[in-house]
A and B are shown apart, each in its own frame.
Chain A
Amino acid sequence: MKTQYYLDYNATTPVDPRVVERMIPFFSERFHNPSSFYHQAGEVMEELDAARVELARLAGANADELFFCGNGTESDNLAIFGTMLQDKKGHLITSAIEHAAVLNSCRQLQKDGYDLTILPVDGHGFVDPDDLRKAMRKDTRLVSIMWANNEIGSIQPVAELARIAHEHGALFHSDAVQAMGKIPVDVQSADVDFLSLSAHKMYGPKGLGLLFKRRGLHLRPLVFGGGHEKGLRPGTENTAAIVGAGEAARLVSTHMREETERVRLWRDDLQTRIEEKIPDILINGDREPRLPNTLNISIRHIEGESILALLETHGLALSSGSACSSKSLDPSHVLLALGRSHEDAHGSLRISLGRFTRREDLDHLMTHLPSTAERLRMISPFWQNRES
Chain B
Amino acid sequence: MLYSKKVMEQFQKTEDYGRIENADGIGKVGNARCGDVMWIYLKIDNGIITDAKYETFGCVAAIATSSMAMKMIKGRRVEEALEVSNKAVTEALDGLPPEKMHCSVLAEEGIKAAIEDYLNKRST
Binding site for B on A (CB under 8 A): 301-303, 305-306, 309-310, 313, 322-325, 327, 329-331, 342-343, 346, 378-382, 384-385
Among A313, A342, A378, which residue has its beta carbon within 8 angstroms of that of B12? Answer: A313
A323 to B103, CA, bound (A): 12
Contacts of A343 in B (CB 8 A): 35, 57
Residue interface mask B1-41, A partner, CB < 8 A = 1: 10100001001101001110000000010000111111100
A-B contact pairs, 5 of them (CB 8 A): A303-B59, A309-B3, A324-B36, A329-B99, A381-B37
A379 engages B36 (CB within 8 Å):
no
B14 engages A379 (CB within 8 Å):
yes
A379 engages B17 (CB within 8 Å):
yes
B35 engages A342 (CB within 8 Å):
yes
A302 to B35, CA, bound (A): 12
Query: Who on chain A is nearest to B16 by CB?
Result: A379
Number of interface residues of B (CB under 8 A): 28
Query: Who on chain A is nearest to B58 by CB?
Result: A303
Query: Who on chain A is nearest to B37 by CB?
Result: A381
Known: A379-B56, A382-B57. 8 other contacts (CB 8 A): A303-B57, A303-B62, A324-B58, A330-B34, A379-B14, A381-B38, A381-B56, A382-B37
Binding site for A on B (CB under 8 A): 1, 3, 8, 11-12, 14, 17-19, 28, 33-39, 54-60, 62-63, 99, 103
Contacts of B34 in A (CB 8 A): 323-324, 329-331
Contacts of B19 in A (CB 8 A): 384-385
Distance in Å: Cβ of A235 to nearest Cβ of chain B: 34
8 nearest A-B pairs in the assembled complex, by CB-CB distance: A324-B59, A381-B55, A323-B34, A305-B59, A381-B39, A379-B17, A329-B34, A380-B57
Contacts of A327 in B (CB 8 A): 99
Contacts of B3 in A (CB 8 A): 309
Among A310, A330, A346, A380, which residue has its beta carbon within 8 angstroms of that of B56? Answer: A380
Contacts of B37 in A (CB 8 A): 381-382
Contacts of B60 in A (CB 8 A): 305-306, 309
A318 to B36, CA, bound (A): 21
Among B8, B57, B59, which residue has its beta carbon within 8 angstroms of that of A381? Answer: B57
A384 engages B36 (CB within 8 Å):
no
Query: Who on chain B is nearest to A302 by CB?
Result: B57
